[in-house]
Amino acid sequence: MSKGLNFLQEPDALGGPEVDTEPMISYQPPKRPSIVKKVSVGVVATVLIIGCLIFLISVGRLVSAGLTAKSSLEYAQDYALEFDFENAQKEVRIAGEALETARSSLWFAKLAYPLPYVGDQAEALVVLVDTGVTLVGVMDDSLSIVQDVYASMFEVQEALGEVSGLDKEYTFETLPSDVRVQMLQTFKNIAPDLAQASVQLEIAQEKLSVLEGQDLFGDIDIVVAQLQEVLPQISSAVNLITPFAQSIEEIAGVDQDRQWLLIFLNNTEMRPGGGFMGVYGLLQVRDGEIIDINTADTYSIDRLAEGDDYVVVPPYPIEAYLGLDTWYFRDANWYPDFAESSKTAVQLLRQEYAYSGQPVPEVHGVIGFTPTVIEMLLEVIGDVTVDGITFTSETFTETLEYDVEYGFKDRGVAWDDRKAIINDLVDELIGSLMSISVSELPNLVDAFAEMFIQKQIALYSFDAQTQVVFEDAAWSGTIDIDNHDDFLIVADANMGALKTDHAMEKEIAYSIIPNDDGYLAQVDITYYHNGGFDWRTTRYQSYTSILAPIGSELIYTSGESASSYDELGMSRFGSYISIEPGEIGTLSFTYQLPSSVASSINSGSYDLAVFKQIGSKQATLTLDLDFDKNLRAAQPSELEDQYGDQTYHVDAQLNRDLEFIVQF
């Protein structure tokens, strides 16, 4: 039988203190205690003894319930792996009943709350049982959902005249079309249930967090550790599936045709919106089936728009450092906010199609992803071979870049067709994903969850309701500056430096100091060029932008060709830097923060958000914030030896969006 949650083990025997039998050196006649003291000591001793007995009785009852729950959950896991969801749910409910019984009897434990140490243990027991009950409830609800989906598949298949039930080797691609439609409809219907399960899991984690750092009785500590490991995993899966169910109509085209613009964001050639758009695709879906998918070189459509009468004024750095007087589709993702880049990309694409006399595509949404996404997928599905070339998770990006730049010649492929391999690669990847085995689904869920967290993939929908779902799920790559007093975004834009970003490392330092006008901010971005001159690496050239609260005023930058303007409710400062291979360069910005930041600090709190650039690699982040007033609390906390002054100093890794809260 597989291992389940080890809710409790048998408690160790409690030993008493050893008695000192050494004779006393000198003898002092004992003083006769007063009657009051005798009574007081007796009462305290009695209360402590009763409290300990209450606690031990509670532990005993929880041990019994925990063993029952543990056994039932192990059986449930075995049944679930055999797709016997009905019996799996029965076992989960047995576990739930055992824990409910334990909870109903734990009112004894609450009597021990006032006692030192014992009270903490008793309170931990109550929290632990409550968390277990919540978790089992979520598992029960989840199995109901799975049964609904599975039953719908079976019913439709029976209606088609197939007498055998679906087995676990079925894949989404091999399902009959009617079964697939029914399955999608079921996902749509269960979206509210999934959302409720997500809330319950969040509550369970909050309850469990109360026990962090407490000195708990051995067996209780074991259970807490196990739940702290399991709960985030379950929560991650539910949080990924829930938005998918909520947006299934648009994503899969339930009862309607939907066309998605795919943009390949090459993060070895960074742009503010995630990476250079060298390849794009149009994906048409209906009822979960891919009706058509085609990818192409972005230059192929841009070239059709080259003409004296086609002019779209580009952002200044594109004109100054790329020498272009027209803003083409390939350079559309100039905004760190993916929604804005997506809208610009669709607009420029449609304009170029119209200008060239081709049918203008109707686009319902945009999916942007970097080569890092493919690398993470290959870790799950394994290597793929296309046109005689094997792609692995470790070498995917370099292998593909070499083939579309040089290797295509060896395969006898024409220049204009050099990126056709990407179309074949996409077909192969989609086929592998659609035929993935059930046993690999948890790994796939984990991979996608991490992709969204790291902002290596982002979605945009022109359907307002679906876009809200994407934003709430943190799938949208949008910059949500609401509810933050201060924020920072550092966005690099590779300006003709080949694929040099693969060789770059970056450190970001952000500091503020008080001055007569409020607070002065400084951002120092240090670049380490770890490459040399080769077929994809050259000197690094970036026009880097800083986005700060609206009303910020640029005072100084160490780079060239500085720009400053307001955009999307933010202030954006830009400057150019060039770094030779093997060298280190630092780009600095100094600016006055708006008075609103000082007002927040003076009112007793400061909230800073640092947003990760879409597609960027991990960067080191250092905060050194001088508030000129003593700190009362901070999250995340400083190191203990840095407590007690007026400065907040933290080192972190910018591998996702981060938030820092300081109170005074």
Residue 86 confidence (pLDDT): 79
Q: What is the pLDDT of residues 32-82, one digit of tens each?
A: 444 444 444 444 444 444 444 444 444 555 556 666 766 776 777 677 656
The phi and psi torsions of 194 (rounded to 5 degrees) equal -65, -40
Q: Which residues, at least 6 apart from 469, have a Cβ–Cβ distance to it below 8 Å?
A: 243, 246, 247, 475
Q: What is the pLDDT of residues 141-188, one digit of tens each?
A: 666 665 665 554 455 445 444 434 444 445 555 566 777 777 788 778
Residue 641 confidence (pLDDT): 86
- Among candidates 327, 440, 312, 452, which has minimal Cα distance to 379? 440
For residues 298 and 168, membership in a common domain is answered with no
For residues 455 and 309, membership in a common domain is answered with yes
- The encoded tokens of residue 170 equal 């079925």
Cα 586 from Cα 133, distance rounded (Å): 54
The phi and psi torsions of 98 (rounded to 5 degrees) equal -60, -45
- Among candidates 589, 606, 617, which has minimal Cα distance to 510? 589
Residue 187 confidence (pLDDT): 78
Is residue 25 assigned to a domain?
Answer: no
Residue 30 confidence (pLDDT): 47
For residues 225 and 278, membership in a common domain is answered with no
Residue 288 confidence (pLDDT): 86
Q: What is the pLDDT of residues 432-456, one digit of tens each?
A: 887 787 677 778 888 999 999 999 9
Q: What's the rounded mean pLDDT across residues 502-530?
A: 98
Q: Give the CATH number, domain containing residue 375.
A: 3.40.630
Residue 9 confidence (pLDDT): 37
Using 50, 70 and 90 to split pLDDT, how confident is the model at 206? Answer: confident
Exposed/middle/buried for residue 200 (C-beta within 10 Å: 0-12, 13-18, 19+): middle
For residues 190 and 267, membership in a common domain is answered with no
Q: Which residues, at least 6 apart from 385, have a Cβ–Cβ distance to it below 8 Å?
A: 391, 428
Residue 442 confidence (pLDDT): 79
Q: What's the rounded mean pLDDT across residues 196-202?
A: 77
pLDDT at 251 over 90: yes
For residues 462 and 326, membership in a common domain is answered with yes
Is residue 20 assigned to a domain?
Answer: no
- Among candidates 489, 495, 496, 452, which has minimal Cα distance to 474? 452
Using 50, 70 and 90 to split pLDDT, how confident is the model at 197? Answer: confident
Q: What's the rounded mean pLDDT across residues 642-657?
A: 94
Helix, strand, coil tally for the chain in percent (to 5): 45, 25, 30
Q: What is the pLDDT of residues 333-362, one digit of tens each?
A: 999 999 999 999 999 999 999 999 999 999
The phi and psi torsions of 652 (rounded to 5 degrees) equal -145, 170
Contact 489, 547 (CB under 8 A): yes
pLDDT more than 90, % of the chain: 56
Residue 520 confidence (pLDDT): 98
Residue type, 421: I
For residues 588 and 447, membership in a common domain is answered with no
Q: Give the CATH number, domain containing residue 559.
A: 2.60.40
Q: What's the rounded mean pLDDT across residues 248-254?
A: 92
Q: What is the pLDDT of residues 82-130, one digit of tens each?
A: 667 678 778 778 877 877 777 766 655 555 555 555 556 556 666 766 7
Least confident of 129-133, 398-402, 617-621: 129-133
- Side-chain half-sphere of 408: how many Cα atoms within 13 Å? 14
- The encoded tokens of residue 154 equal 């079976």
- The encoded tokens of residue 289 equal 């089936």
* Residue after which a domain boundary falls, among 246, 272, 301: 246
* Residue after which a domain boundary falls, among 472, 505, 520: 472
Cα 281 from Cα 264, distance rounded (Å): 8
* Residue after which a domain boundary falls, among 212, 246, 280: 246
Q: What is the 3-state secondary structure (H, E, C) of 140-161?
A: HHHHHHHHHHHHHHHHHHHHCC
pLDDT at 646 over 80: yes
Residue 571 confidence (pLDDT): 98
Cα 93 from Cα 568, distance rounded (Å): 51
For residues 98 and 199, membership in a common domain is answered with yes
Contact 504, 529 (CB under 8 A): yes
Is residue 18 assigned to a domain?
Answer: no
Sign of torsion over alpha carbons 192, 196, 197, 199: positive
> What angle separates helix 35-81 from helix 85-105, to the nearest 10 degrees?
180
Contact 83, 167 (CB under 8 A): yes
Q: Is-above-0.85 flag for pTM?
A: no
Is residue 658 assigned to a domain?
Answer: yes
Is residue 26 assigned to a domain?
Answer: no
Residue 177 confidence (pLDDT): 72
Q: What is the pLDDT of residues 578-592, one digit of tens each?
A: 999 999 999 999 999
Is residue 477 assigned to a domain?
Answer: no
Other beta carbons within 10 angstroms of residue 445's beta carbon come to 18
Tokens 């600090």 locate to: 601
For residues 324 and 407, membership in a common domain is answered with yes
For residues 495 and 467, membership in a common domain is answered with no
- Structural domain span for residue 198: 35-246
Q: Are strands 560-567 and 605-611 parallel, antiparallel or unpaired?
A: unpaired
For residues 397 and 495, membership in a common domain is answered with no
Cα–chain center distance at 438: 23
Residue 16 confidence (pLDDT): 40
**What are residue 365's DSSP bridge partners?**
260, 461
pLDDT more than 70, % of the chain: 74
Residue 8 confidence (pLDDT): 35
Q: What's the rounded mean pLDDT across residues 541-570?
A: 97
552 vs 238: which has the higher pLDDT? 552
Other beta carbons within 10 angstroms of residue 229's beta carbon come to 10
What is the phi-psi region of residue 161: left when phi exceeds 0, alpha when psi lies from -120 to 50, beta otherwise?
A: left
Residue 49 confidence (pLDDT): 44
Residue 141 confidence (pLDDT): 66
Contact 396, 264 (CB under 8 A): no
- Among candidates 530, 537, 557, 555, which has minimal Cα distance to 545? 557
For residues 170 and 276, membership in a common domain is answered with no
Using 50, 70 and 90 to split pLDDT, how confident is the model at 430? Answer: confident
For residues 235 and 221, membership in a common domain is answered with yes
> Domain count of the chain?
3
Q: What is the pLDDT of residues 389-424, one digit of tens each?
A: 999 999 999 999 999 999 999 899 998 889 989 988
Mean residue pLDDT across the chain: 82
Is residue 652 assigned to a domain?
Answer: yes
Is residue 140 assigned to a domain?
Answer: yes
Count of residues making up the chain: 664
pLDDT at 3 over 50: no
Contact 601, 630 (CB under 8 A): no
Cα 476 from Cα 152, distance rounded (Å): 31
Least confident of 229-233, 372-376, 389-393: 229-233
